[in-house]
Amino acid sequence: MNEITTISDIQNLVTQGFTDWQQYGNVSARRHSDLIIFNYNSFAQFEGRWNFFERVSRGLILHTQTGEVVARGFDKFFGWLEGGRYTTAPLIAVTEKMDGSLGLLYRTPNGYRISTRGNLTSVQGAWATQFLNSHYDLTDLPNELTLIFEIIYPENRVIVNYGERQDLVLLAARNRHTGNYLPFAPDVINLANRFGFSLPATYPEFQSVEDVLKHLATLDANHEGYVIEFADGNRFKFKGARYLELHKLVFGLSFKNTLEAMQNGTVQDILDAVPDEFLNEVKAWIGEIEGVLSSVRDKVQAAFEAAPKTTRKDFALWVQANQCDIAGYLFAMFDGKPIEPLIYRYHAWGYEETEADNNDMALTRVFGWYDHRSTAIQPPPTRQPPRQDNNIGDGLKADDIDQR
């Protein structure tokens, strides 16, 4: 099989005991007992390929012995115009975008449980399972349905302040066998009323994408945005600018923090956590940093190859006469040491520190005195363009040259 193009393909591979899922896409698979859950990973977001397997792996749960689809959540859906994506189909539902954790109802021999998008044993899933079983009676729930929730409780706060609210908000319902979604109105609404679930706010007054975009600009930071379901089956998310600003602050997304993560070898942690809305910006930062590293390495390598290396003294005299500005890099190379740590330390990266660079400050601002009723949020300072400076050995003084 060259690629996975159907759910049946995944089922067949699962029952055959297949494990090399990276062969078919940037997808992580976690097993727990007789179940396996699939979730796209940060490489899928970074590459932006989004093949069928990656799109459907958003909490897809299968039984490892039978291949049965145990739960099927939302397929990956995108921000409006993300990657050029849009639709001209009519709107059929506009709902509030909730700011918690995605929860997926599934069935076990011991009753109903809730998983999160990529984990059958997460803290949020355990909380949601306990809350479900102590507050709701799902007798007569149609066996084919996966209920899709937003998990909300104080300890699981992201940005939006729901106060002391503890809730499972019913976002959607999907036939786990056919993949068909139930219409939000009336079917999902009827399910919520029947079993006592909360629903996200709805906005029947919005008749077009233009209506949504116009109102989006008025949202304060305590409202994440909207999800629109269209008549052709597409869903798109629309997030408010003030919410995104605070999200960026709280999670410390900045050029400086990306630079430090690359230096420390932890940039994958950023990619694992970065929301789709900021991914292109982070990718641009990474590309800029990698470009500098490559440029400096090439210049130093060319100079090193041209320098006499018979003795250290000959090398030092040549460096002082011809390439003093990159002396520190050249002597590191002469000694067989990597030059990347020096580039990270001494290159004039040209950023201004922003509030996002200080996570404690951001958290204090957002969760300390931040008033969610106020819309007067000042954006953090923007990063200045890098200096066009030929002296790529910034900070390496003559005293740094070892002429032993």
The rounded distance, in Å, linking the Cα atoms of 152 and 150 is 6
Alpha-carbon distance values, 52 to 55, 103, 308 (Å): 5, 22, 56
Side chain identity at residue 62, one-letter code: L
The CATH number of the structural domain formed by 77-239 is: 3.30.470.30
Q: What is the pLDDT of residue 381?
A: 39
Share of the chain above pLDDT 70, in %: 87
DSSP 220-255: -TT--EEEEEETTS-EEEEE-HHHHHHHHHHTT-SH
Q: What is the pLDDT of residue 400?
A: 36
Minimal CA–CA distance to 72: which of 105, 100, 42, 101? 105
Q: Where are the domains of the chain?
A: 1-71, 77-239, 249-400
Tell me the per-residue pLDDT of 178-200, one tens digit each, with 9 for 90 and over.
999 999 999 999 999 999 999 99
Mean pLDDT of the residues in the chain: 87
Question: Which residues are bridge partners to 124 per DSSP?
Answer: none
Minimal CA–CA distance to 150: which of 141, 158, 140, 142? 158
Alpha-carbon distance values, 157 to 98, 166, 338, 403 (Å): 11, 11, 42, 57
Minimal CA–CA distance to 71: which of 118, 33, 105? 105
Q: What is the pLDDT of residue 354?
A: 58
pLDDT value at 134 more than 90: yes
Which of 171-175, 203-207, 262-266 is the least confident region? 262-266
Q: Is 230 exposed, middle or buried (0-12, 13-18, 19+ CB in 10 A)?
A: middle
Report strand pairing: 225-230 vs 235-239.
antiparallel
The rounded distance, in Å, linking the Cα atoms of 94 and 214 is 14
User: Per the structure block, which two tokens stand in for 267?
Assistant: 């940039």
The pTM (predicted TM-score) of the whole model is 0.75
Side chain identity at residue 216, one-letter code: L
Tell me the per-residue pLDDT of 252-297, one tens digit each, with 9 for 90 and over.
888 888 899 899 888 888 887 787 888 888 888 999 999 999 999 9
Phi, psi of 371 (to 5 degrees): -100, 110
Mean pLDDT within 216-233: 95
Tell me the per-residue pLDDT of 64-85, one tens digit each, with 9 for 90 and over.
999 999 999 999 999 999 989 9
Q: What is the pLDDT of residue 140?
A: 95
